Amino acid sequence: MFLTIALVLLVLWALGFFVFPIGGGLIHILLVIAIIAVIWHFVSGRRSSV
3-class SS string, the chain: CHHHHHHHHHHHHHHHHHCCCCCHHHHHHHHHHHHHHHHHHHHHHCCCCC
- Structure confidence at residue 31 (pLDDT): 78
More confident of the two residues 47 and 44 = 44
pTM of the model: 0.50
- Structure confidence at residue 20 (pLDDT): 67
In this structure, what DSSP letter does residue 9 have?
H
Burial of 45 (C-beta count, 10 Å sphere; 0-12/13-18/19+): exposed
Question: pLDDT per residue over 11-46, tens digit each?
Answer: 877 777 777 666 667 767 777 888 888 888 888 876
- Structure confidence at residue 16 (pLDDT): 72
